[in-house]
Amino acid sequence: MERIFTLKHQDRNGKARTGVLSLPHGEVDTPVFMPVGTAGTVKAMYHKTVADIGYNLILGNTYHLYLRPGTDVLSLFDGLHAFSNWGRNILTDSGGFQIFSLSKLRKIYEDGIKFQSHIDGSRHVFTPEKVVDIQQCIGSDIAMCLDICSAPGIDKKKTMKAMDLTHAWAERCINRRDSLLEETGRAFRGNLFGICQGGFYEDLRIQSAKTISQMDFPGIAIGGLSVGESKEEFKHFLAVAADACTHEKPRYVMGIGTVDYILEAVENGIDMFDCVLATREARHGTVFTDDGMLNLSRAFNEKNSGPISEGCTCTACTHYSRAYMRHMFKAGEIYGAMLASEHNLTYLYNFMLRIRQSIEEDRFESFKNEYMARFYANGGLCKN
């Protein structure tokens, strides 16, 4: 198994750490936030703008790309990089979470998952092997195994069954990855990550984290978090799973994008995370600032000639006022969503730079405390 993670520095006062991921389309500094480009595009953003901000790893989704445009189209372009003209790294979720959310349209059985398309109702089957094949077609730099996510409130017996099936599917994913060269003449192009589950039971979380850690994966994802549980449950089970995972491999928590959850993950030694929140909130006129989330449509922005955030290098902050931004959203102009999306992704990119610097200087804990005190001084809302 090829190692793709190099540890640079661990804060001497805790578990927060910096490192480098070595991927087929370039190196990635960690901890890293990944913008979500579900269908091959980060919504309301030019690819060039995403790259110019500094991002070199974005997330796509196997389920959505499989349904549309489909593997036949992607194969014509030899994958998503050429099809979408994105020359940097791509991580793809296996689609397991999306199918998990389609509870009325899917059925899980030992060999895989049967589901109906949310687009046209057509019927499909995902097996562990098929998900590897689809991600090979996509050309994913990091690909995820098919897993089963357990929602809060599921009893232990059902959670254990889902976990055991996730482990069995992980072995099948590895076998398919390793057989591709012989069977197709082309080795797997990316790096296959395993996903540990275990729901909201400590012993199962620990068992799953240790089981996946011992398998032949260059990286590990902690799944089944931020799926509706309380914040305290999230914090507790994140810490339990992170402690049980090997520290030799990069660790990834899927679907977290609020500043408090990001900081909590970094504090537990997590290296990677993604979320749609930044761009989704931006399209509705809500943006990140150090003083909390700012709703640009609020009346107090109507005559404000200042930027969203002083010192921010995004187009909105360097060229336009809050008053103009408010006008864009009140008028329903697409440009407002584009500008706000760029701001939020710029903010989070610089937020990660600040986090990495604080770790390198062994002051992550003080950075976290000072940042949180300011951000949540008014309940997490910027009011001026």
Give catalytic residues, as residue numbers: 93, 274
Count of alpha carbons within 13 Å of 149, Cβ hemisphere only? 26
Ramachandran angles phi, psi of 102, nearest 5°: -95, 55
Helix (H, G, I), strand (E, B) or coil at 244: helix
Q: Strands 251-253 and 220-222, how do they pair?
A: parallel
Encoded tokens for 243: 């402690």
Q: Give the Cα separation of 125 and 138 in Å (integer).
A: 18
Q: Give the Cα separation of 218 and 2 in Å (integer).
A: 7
Q: Order of strands across the sheet with 123-126?
A: 106-109, 112-116, 123-126
Query: For the chain, what's the residue count?
Result: 384
Helix (H, G, I), strand (E, B) or coil at 276: coil
Judge whether 186 and 139 are in contact, CB under 8 Å.
no
